[in-house]
Amino acid sequence: MSSPDIASILENSRELDRLRKHQEEVLVGINKLHKKLQATPEVVEKPGDSSLSRLKSLYIQAKDLSEREVAISSSLLSQLDTFLPSGPPGQQRRKMDGTDQKKKRMKSDSDISRISPSMRSHIEVCVGLKDEQVAARVTSDAEKDEWFVVKVINFDEKTKEFEVLDEEPGDDEEGGVQRKYKLPASCIIPFPKRIDPSSTQEFPAGRHVLAVYPGTTALYKATVISTPRKRKSDDYLLEFDDDEEDGALPQRTVPFHKVVPLPEGHRQ
């Protein structure tokens, strides 16, 4: 593993730590408001009281932070999968009798009860992505990875797989039908929520990202030229790789909610 790869993994790990600290702060705020509303529920009827709107804002932040945690975790999984060797081939399997099956079920039930709060939160966020649009790596071969905007149909908690729909009709050769895929969590990156830009991580100028190319549902590698905060807008200014026009790379605007971290080892 090269030094840049290690640095990227460590950076994502630090980002997870920051996200969890932020989540804890938001949770403290939610709990304080809960206690206030339980003790004095009549306060919400007073003119000018903003308790409910503040509570809603905190819940939105909590949801966005959880989805961001899924995105970073998925990126880390992809990074680690790149370097971890696969399991030993040809492992022998024997047919399980009734006792073995019973033991397996008991172990499975025990494993479920021992799921950590972090893993349970991860699963809940995955389930909560139903009907949302996400970035998905639908194909991966020796030459390139292909990422598209898809809609989450379902998340299977047992197999940890997403069922997604590419809402863009296929080519005439494919019958022009919408395609469905079953993908692991490592192939899914949630988009930032457009309703709350302030709670979204901003990628600095010079950072490589994955972004939806304007006018399409495909995502490509791009370099951040200017950030939404600097531009005082909701858009990044990006240069997409292999987007040369007249010998130069044009700079294109892309909404912040269509820009996600570039997965480690991305091939284009």
Q: Choose from 13-27, 128-142, 208-222 the range with maximum mean pLDDT.
A: 208-222
pLDDT at 255: 95
Most confident listed range (87-91, 140-144, 234-238): 234-238
Average pLDDT over residues 168-179: 68
- Name the burial class of residue 70, with classes exposed (0-12), middle (13-18) and buried (19+) by CB atoms within 10 angstroms of its CB: buried
CB 54 within 8 A of CB 62: no
- What's the confidence (pLDDT) of residue 108? 45
Q: Stretch 50-70: mean pLDDT, rounded?
A: 82
Q: Would the pLDDT of 163 be above 70?
A: yes
* Residue 3: band (very low, low, confident or very high) from pLDDT cuts 50, 70, 90: low
Instruction: Work out the average pLDDT over 19-29.
Output: 83
Residue 62 has pLDDT above 70, yes or no: yes
Inform me whether the pLDDT recorded for 151 exceeds 90.
Answer: yes
d(CA 70, CA 75): 9
Catalogue the long-range contacts made by 237-242 (C-beta closer than 8 Å, 24 or more residues apart).
238/209, 238/211, 240/211, 240/213, 241/268, 242/268
Among 2-11, 19-28, 173-182, the least confident range? 2-11
Closest CA to 213 of 266, 252, 268: 252
* Average pLDDT rounded to a whole number, residues 95-116: 47
Is the dihedral angle over the CA atoms 11, 16, 20, 22 positive or is it negative? positive
Q: Which residues contact 212 (CB under 8 A, 6 or more apart)?
A: 135, 149, 218, 219, 254, 258, 259
Query: Which percentage of the chain shows pLDDT scores above 70?
Result: 78
Q: Which residue has the higher pLDDT, 115 or 167?
A: 167
Highest average pLDDT, of 90-99, 172-181, 208-217, 245-254, comes from 208-217
The verdict on pTM exceeding 0.75 is: no
Which residues does residue 152 pair with via DSSP β-bridges, in sequence order? Answer: 164
Give the best-scoring range by mean pLDDT among 21-30, 33-42, 104-113, 211-220: 211-220
| pLDDT, averaged across the chain | 79
